[in-house]
Amino acid sequence: MSLNKSALAFAGILLATTALGTGAALAQAKVAIVTPYMAQPGTQFYVEAFQAVAAENDWDVNVIDTAGDVAAVISRIEDLVVQNVDAIVINVDPTQVTAGLQAAKDAGIPVFGMDAGADPLLVTNVTSNGYAMAAETSTYVADRIKGEGNVVMFVFDAFPPVQVRGVVADAVFGNFPDINVLDRVTPDVSDGGIADSRAKMEAILAANPEPGSIKAVWAAWDQPALGALQAIEDAGRSGEGIVITGIDANPQAREAIAAGGNFEASVAQDFAGIGATTAEAVARVLAGEEILQSVTYVPTKLVTVANAAE
């Protein structure tokens, strides 16, 4: 009785699997995306845009979400290598999955990074240009304050992707003889970065009570910009025209920019563009082309009150 039942159930599961797994024709290129971070909003944009390009190319795309498990990313890459797929796309720090990347390289399967980090084992990593993003906001600040006055910088040099932003802003402000960097603050980020940035900004405001003594706050990412905004508003100094910029254009930052206060600009990464560009890189390699750049940059977009609500 129950042998029949369980045998039936097993058969049912296996049949269902067959139906699910064998939709692909033989001639299609097999491409797999492996990520532990599918639940993060940016990742979904990458994957959807990737799949749109993949559909045009008639690829058989297998999206594998290991739900936060990085070791499972290695395991799934190993499975894909055994399966001999045509290309693999990862969205995880490549230094953590070297074992899998090496297996793919040994089998001659190209692996692409989709905002993953540069690595010799990747054909190319497609991402936003941190230097360019910082150039957008620092030139915005310099132009808005007409090239003169005191600027407060919020930086974080311990984290390489944020460190490069600070380098560019240093160069831009240094190129204006009348811009003086009043303070180069590294906030404590253990609480998310807003609260400590606010406290640091309050101290700087207290030390510079004269209206106009601070012209702008340039932050290497949005959280310190939001903290600085809170400090300026609470100190009753939002009327002084202090210009604040961030980077990343997270929802809270967009809201603040759209409100039309001191927080004037941030930079949005083009997640869909990263996904589509990754797919295009895969298409080029599948067509036999060699990609020389180890990093492929996708343009970013300045967000101001004009487009913050988009």
Site for another protein, rule CB under 8 A: 2-3, 5-7, 9-10, 13-14, 16-18, 20-22, 24, 30, 32, 60, 62-72, 74-76, 78-80, 82-84, 93, 95-99, 102, 190
Identity of the residue, 66 or 150, whose beta carbon is nearer to another protein in the bound complex: 66
Nearest residue (CB) to another protein, 25 versus 292:
25
Angle at 92 between CA 72 and CA 77, to 5 degrees: 40
State the nearest-atom distance from the C-beta of 30 to another protein, in Å.
8
Kindly tell me which of 157 and 183 has the beta carbon lying closer to another protein: 157
Q: How many Å apart are CA 106 and CA 225, to the nearest integer?
A: 46
**14 vs 203, beta carbon nearer another protein:** 14
Strand, coil or helix: what is 37? coil
Nearer to another protein (CB atom), residue 6 or residue 293: 6
Nearest distance, CB of residue 239 and another protein, angstroms: 38
CB of 271 to another protein, least distance (A): 20
Three-state secondary structure of 4-64? HHHHHHHHHHHHHHHHHHCCCCCCCCEEEEEECCCCCHHHHHHHHHHHHHHHHCCCEEEEE
Residue with Cβ nearer another protein (138 or 197): 197
Q: How far is the CB of 275 from another protein (least distance, A)?
A: 18
∠ CA(268), CA(273), CA(275), 5° rounding? 120
Minimum CB separation of residue 19 from another protein in Å reads 10
Beta bridge partners of 287: none
CB of 23 to another protein, least distance (A): 8
Tokens encoding 204: 């700087």
Give residue 222's Cα distance to chain centre.
Answer: 13
Q: How far is CA 151 from CA 169, 179, 229, 248, in A?
A: 11, 7, 14, 20
Q: Which of 183, 179, 180 is nearest to 148 (CA)?
A: 179
Task: Identify the burial level of 274 via C-beta atoms within 10 angstroms of its C-beta, where 0-12 means exposed, 13-18 middle and 19 or more buried.
Answer: buried
